[in-house]
């Protein structure tokens, strides 16, 4: 396949990239990561992603052994090594090698891994025609158990939800929190629009503080729309004018059906299309140069 992976300061051929079987990132999902996009030779929101990575690490008391500036330089170097202009970057920091016990203090040297490659999260037709989704039985982890403020390597909660969606024939699903309010999707944030008001679940509902989520909210505000964080139920989404998903990999995806209920007129909504247009213009003109 070719390509290079950054591992602990070294650029390694993709086929030879490896970590220890005793790394607690593998054994226990003890680590953090980010998903970052590059567009036209620029890395979009690199500063924000690295800040969120360090915030996640701080919350779980994981000390990243390089400075944020050096981490950014490493990200750029991986993109250069892989000749990335339009692609996806995955920085990972694991707790490092330990023993078979849980004790994180026995892991003396955190590991840094950075991957840069291509990504196509959903079929192109879903962006044009809209996506049907369902609500799944698997509830979002409680914010007091595994905080959505931490983008951790332990994604089993999301994977269980994804499995339920795949078994039902859909690409993405909606997860509720333990109180029955909408939290997020298995891999994306979710928005609904009602009477020109853009609503998104608050972080305390179980939503990841998404970089794309915040970018789209900013675009909506500049477009003259009102934006609100609020708790809402799946029933409220059934009668929304428009619903869409956001994520670094997904970008913006219109939703045209939820649990068999048609959203709006069953086609991507006008305001969602406007947000997509403005988002594409933004990512095409902003970002940290790779060269």
Residue 273 in tokens:
């299309």
Nearest Cα residue to 252 out of 197, 200, 189: 189
Residue 267 burial by CB count (10 A; 0-12/13-18/19+): exposed, middle or buried?
middle
Q: For residue 235, how many C-alpha atoms fall within 13 Å in the half-sphere facing its CB? A: 1
Cα dist from 13 to 90, 127, 131, whole Å: 16, 34, 37
DSSP secondary structure letter of residue 140 = P
Kindly name the residue from 45, 151, 162, 282 that is annotated as catalytic. Answer: 151
Element (H, E) at 258: strand 251-258
Q: Is the dihedral of CA 52, 30, 206, 286 positive or negative?
A: positive
**Residues in CB range of 105: below 8 A, 6 or more apart:** none
Neighbours of 145 (CB within 10 A): 9
Query: Is residue 230 flagged as an active site residue?
Result: no
- Active site (catalytic) residues: 151
């Amino acid at each position: 396949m070719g390509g290079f992976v950054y591992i602990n300061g070294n650029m390694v051929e993709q086929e030879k990239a490896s970590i220890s079987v005793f790394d607690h990132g593998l054994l226990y999902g003890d680590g953090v990561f980010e998903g970052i996009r590059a567009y036209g030779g620029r890395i979009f929101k690199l500063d924000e992603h690295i800040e969120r990575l360090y915030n996640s690490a701080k919350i779980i008391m994981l000390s990243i052994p390089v400075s944020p500036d050096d981490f950014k330089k490493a990200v750029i170097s991986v993109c250069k090594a892989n000749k990335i202009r339009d692609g996806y970057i995955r920085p990972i920091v694991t707790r490092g090698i330990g023993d078979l016990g849980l004790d994180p203090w026995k892991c003396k040297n955190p590991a840094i891994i950075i991957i840069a490659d291509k990504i196509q999260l959903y079929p192109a037709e879903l962006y044009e025609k809209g996506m049907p989704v369902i609500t799944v039985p698997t509830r979002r982890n409680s914010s007091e158990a595994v905080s959505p403020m931490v983008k951790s390597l332990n994604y089993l909660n999301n994977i269980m939800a994804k499995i339920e969606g795949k078994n039902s024939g859909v690409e993405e699903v909606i997860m509720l929190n333990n109180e029955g309010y909408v939290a997020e999707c298995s891999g994306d944030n979710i928005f609904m629009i009602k009477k020109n008001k853009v609503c998104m679940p608050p972080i305390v509902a179980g939503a990841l503080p998404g970089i794309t989520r915040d970018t789209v909210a900013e675009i909506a505000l500049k477009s003259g729309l009102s934006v609100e964080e609020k708790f809402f139920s799946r029933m409220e989404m059934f009668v929304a004018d428009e619903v869409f998903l956001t994520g670094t990999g997904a970008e913006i995806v219109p939703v045209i059906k939820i649990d068999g209920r048609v959203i709006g007129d069953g086609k991507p909504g006008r305001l969602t299309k406007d947000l997509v247009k403005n988002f594409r213009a933004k990512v095409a003109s902003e970002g940290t140069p790779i060269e």
